[in-house]
Amino acid sequence: MNVPTNSLVRAKMPLEMLLRSFFIATISSKKFLLIPALKLLSFFSKPGRSYLFNVDRNPVLHGILKKTFYNQFCAGESKQETKACCKSLTDLGFKGIILTFAKEMVFDHRNKAPEAPAEQAAKAETAATHDPVVEEWRVGTLATVDMIEKGDILALKTTGGGPAVGEAFHRGELPPQQMMDALDEIATKCKERGIQIIVDAESQYFQKGIARTSLELMRKFNREPTVVIYNTYQAYLKNQPKYLQQHLAEAEKDGFTLGLKLVRGAYILSDDRALIHDTKEDTDAAYNGIVEGALHQKLWDFGVSRPFPATNLFLASHNKHSLITAQRLQAQRESDGLPTVPIAFAQLHGMSDEVGFSLLKEQCADGKAPDVFKCSTWGSMGDCVAYLLRRAVENRDAVLRTKDEFNALKKEVWKRLGFGRS
Ligand SMILES: Cc1cc2nc3c(=O)[nH]c(=O)nc-3n(C[C@H](O)[C@H](O)[C@H](O)COP(=O)(O)OP(=O)(O)OC[C@H]3O[C@@H](n4cnc5c(N)ncnc54)[C@H](O)[C@@H]3O)c2cc1C
């Protein structure tokens, strides 16, 4: 495959996309613009806003957010919009799309309350055997499967199943049977269509039950030669090694393949800070340590005093250093005939195209480019606004990366205006 250089990709960007990316990069790279933007997004993300501040009901507010933040980071509000956006992303050279239905609940540690829309909470009161919120999530998720192709990936935000599901997750339990049936139906359909599934990691309040649920799905669906399910592990958590060791032990005992999607973690703003590593350096060391261990098939006592279970590694990150180092290590070990695990990569839509394209220029042991995916979210503005807030926070934290992105986009805008060198 011919991989365009990063500047060529920007040169091919439609004008609207270029200007929008430049607008977002301008806000993200200037503190005095980003702080009010974050405050506004945080305000809009709270449920139960009046008409004036309701992002779904107020058409002016909806239009402004749609043309800016939404279109930068999300795929669409309808099937048609979403499919068109997915195509435009794969046309850029990525292996495929990871698509999520945006419905979720975020637990704000400071407010001690899951931020589910008010009507959902009311519906949960009446949910006994048939929960309409689970049904809505099931239908939305199956619609998501219909928007993607063989080889693409479905990502699940399982708290989208609503308060009854969230409560079970918080207790560390599997969700109600209706949700388990929905997950089974979705996984079966995906397996038939050659689509893999990633279960996203969410707020710590829910995470115990989410991880338990995806473990059960891996146990059932990750039987050789297919890996259908990936669970997400958040390296920024101090206790993450404990969970990963438990899951490796389960995979070893029951003979299934562990789908190990590794992220640093996105809920630093809302989760209990004490659970998260004290410094960014500690999070980086945890992330890179797990990657290196998996690629050497030596993690804790796995691969040392006991077998290393079959594992597929999926690195979801914008950290170029972590990803390029991992890719080169994996390729080196494969060409040296040393034990290692399969690896794939993903970045979020609207972020770090530079990183994705740099990866695509790397070579695997067979001479091919690595598998790099672009991950996007679809859903109504109201459902996507918490997601948008997390992306804005990440841009705030990735100061160097957003500055580089801003400078590169500025150069391209200047060139098109006739001021720059071609
Ligand atoms: C395709 C994809 C899927 C994702 N899915 C999920 C998911 O399911 N669940 C989820 O939680 N996140 C998810 N994320 C987001 C991810 O967890 C990170 O928030 C985001 O990618 C930024 O981290 P990074 O590795 O890209 O790079 P970097 O910019 O190198 O790292 C930033 C991250 O470091 C950590 N960090 C920053 N400051 C500190 C500090 N002071 N102390 C300790 N740690 C710190 C935080 O995790 C922060 O997000 C996903 C990301 C991608 C690309």
Q: Are residues 193 and 59 both part of a single domain?
A: no
Are residues 121 and 41 part of one domain?
no
User: Are 61 and 175 found together in one domain?
Assistant: no
Quote the number of domains for the chain. Answer: 2
Query: Which residue bears the tokens 């707020």?
Result: 203
How big is the CA angle at 88 (ends 418 and 23), to the nearest 5 degrees? Answer: 45
Q: Are 117 and 224 part of one and the same domain?
A: yes
Q: What is the pLDDT of residue 302?
A: 98
Mean pLDDT of 213-241: 96
Same domain, 265 and 398: no
Q: Decide which of 234 and 6 is more confident.
A: 234
Highest averaged pLDDT of the listed ranges 31-40, 73-82, 398-407 = 73-82
**pLDDT over 90, % of the chain:** 60
Nearest CA to ligand 1 atom 40: 280
Looking at the fold, whether 301 and 422 belong to one and the same domain comes out as no
- What gap in Å lies between CA 157 and CA 381, rounded to an integer? 16
R_g of the chain, CA atoms, integer Å: 21
Residues 103 and 117 in one domain: yes
| pLDDT value of residue 354 | 79
The number of residues in the chain equals 422
> What tens digit of pLDDT does each residue of 318-350 get?
999 999 999 999 999 999 999 999 999 999 998
Vertex 375, ends 295 and 135: CA angle to 5°? Answer: 115
pLDDT digits (tens, 9 = 90+) for 345-366: 999 998 877 789 899 999 999 9
Cα–Cα distance for residue pair 373/360, rounded to 1 Å: 10
pLDDT surpassing 80 at residue 118: no
Provide DSSP, 289-308: HHHHHHHHT-BTTBTTTBPP
Tell me if residue 314 falls in helix, strand or coil: strand
For residue range 158-175, what is the model confidence (pLDDT) as tens digits? 999 999 999 999 999 999
Does residue 125 surpass a pLDDT of 90? no
| Residue 299 φ/ψ, nearest 5 degrees | -130, 120
Do 131 and 229 share a domain, yes or no?
A: yes
User: Residue 91: is its pLDDT beyond 70?
Assistant: yes
Both 284 and 297 in one domain: the answer is yes
The one-letter amino acid code at 211 reads A
Domain holding 60, by residue range, is: 1-75+384-422
Q: Which residue has the higher pLDDT, 46 or 194?
A: 194
**Measured CA distances, 34 to 27, 52, 402 (Å):** 5, 22, 12
Nearest atom of ligand 1 to the alpha carbon of 282: 43
CB 154 within 8 A of CB 190: yes
Please report, for the domain that includes residue 198, its CATH number. Answer: 3.20.20.220
Q: Examine the domain organization and report whether 65 and 89 are in the same domain.
A: no
Is the pLDDT confidence value at 205 over 90?
yes
Tell which atom from ligand 1 comes closest to the C-alpha of 398. Answer: 29
What tokens does 327 get? Answer: 């890719």
Q: What is the mean pLDDT of the chain?
A: 88
Give per-residue pLDDT as tens, 245-296: 999 999 999 999 999 999 999 999 889 999 999 999 999 999 999 999 999 9
In this structure, the answer to whether residues 364 and 390 fall within a common structural domain is: no
What's the CA-to-centroid distance between 142 and ligand 1, angstroms? 27
**Nearest residue to 23 (alpha-carbon basis) of 83, 65, 77, 55:** 65
Q: Is the CB of 374 under 6 A from ligand 1?
A: no
Q: Are 138 and 67 contained in the same domain?
A: no
Question: 264: Cβ below 6 Å to ligand 1?
Answer: yes
Residue 1 pLDDT: 45
